[in-house]
Structure 1
Amino acid sequence: MGEIALIIIAVAAAVLVIFLVVLIVKFMKTVDEMNRTIAVVTQDTDILLKQADTLMAKTNTLLDDMNRKIATIDPLFTAVADLSESVSKMNRSGNDFATRFKGKAANAGKATAIVTLGRSAGKFFNRKKSRA
């Protein structure tokens, strides 16, 4: 009976050892795959970092170029703003002149109408005097 128990324990230990060996082999494969993945990611990260550095350098160059061009164009915008203000003032002056002229033209029109009426009346009375 003790021998059977010993055989059962030995078989159970052998099954446990086989199970542990299979588990360790699978774990080692997983660790190897993880190491390969880490190596690939590290290489890809290095490539990406180099490309990012190149991109940042080009971006900085482009930004410097844009800043120089904007600094060159700034006086142009100032001149256009000044010109716009001058044109606006001229427009206001023209409107003021037109408004004043319109008022004077209306008065001149009334005076012309009175003079014309006076002439017509004068001609009418002169005709009456000549007929009489």
Structure 2
Amino acid sequence: MNLTGGEIAGLIAAIAFAILAISLAVVIFKAGSVIGELNTTIDEVNKTITVLTKNTDHLLIEVEGLLNKSNTTLNDVNGKLSLTDPLFKAVGDLGLSVSELNNATKNLTTQLSGSAKKGSTIGISRKVGEKVSRL
């Protein structure tokens, strides 16, 4: 059996084509399994998204209720805090009165000590009585 050059070239081409066809078949088969796994993954992702959407909806409803309760509580606290304003005003007025009383006492003491240096104890008693009656 003698093979000519054309027959050898044809045989090599046929073997190369067979190898190429087998390689292509293997690649297509593997791509098919990858696509099958991808479809399975996409189905699982869709199921997970559905569950997450339901859970998120429930969570948003709970958060909205919590925010409503927080707003109600905050409004109540603000109302009660505004009721304490007169108390703080009264405490401030009391502080001013005490400060004025301290200043008057200091002035009286200063005037009496000056009078004590000048006069007798009878004069001091009379001046104390006059100052207290003015207050």
- Determine if the TM-score, normalized by the shorter chain, exceeds 0.5: yes
Query: Is 1:33 the equivalent of 2:71?
Result: no
Q: RMSD across aligned C-alpha pairs, in angstroms?
A: 1.8
d(CA) in 2 for partners of 1:38, 1:50:
18
Query: Is 1:102 the equivalent of 2:134?
Result: no
Cα offset for 1:49?
A: 0.6
The structure with more helix, counted as a fraction of residues: 1
For 2:22, the equivalent position in structure 1 comes to 11
When normalised by structure 1's length, the TM-score is 0.73
d(CA) in 2 for partners of 1:26, 1:105:
110
What secondary structure, in the 3-state scheme, does the structure 1 residue paired with 2:84 have? helix
Q: What pairs up with 1:91-130 in 2 under 5 angstroms?
A: 91-108=102-119
Higher relative contact order (CA 8 A, sep 6+): 2
When normalised by structure 2's length, the TM-score is 0.72
User: Which runs of 5 or more structure 2 residues have no equivalent in the other structure?
Assistant: 1-10, 122-135
- The one-letter code sitting in structure 2 at the alignment partner of 1:104 is S
Q: What per-residue deviation string (whole Å, max 9, x for no partner) do you get for residues 104-132 of structure 1?
A: 22334xx58xxxxxxxxxxxxxxxxxxxx
In the TM superposition, structure 1's runs of 4+ consecutive aligned residues that sit over 3 Å from their partners are none
The count of corresponding residues between Structure 1 and Structure 2 is: 110
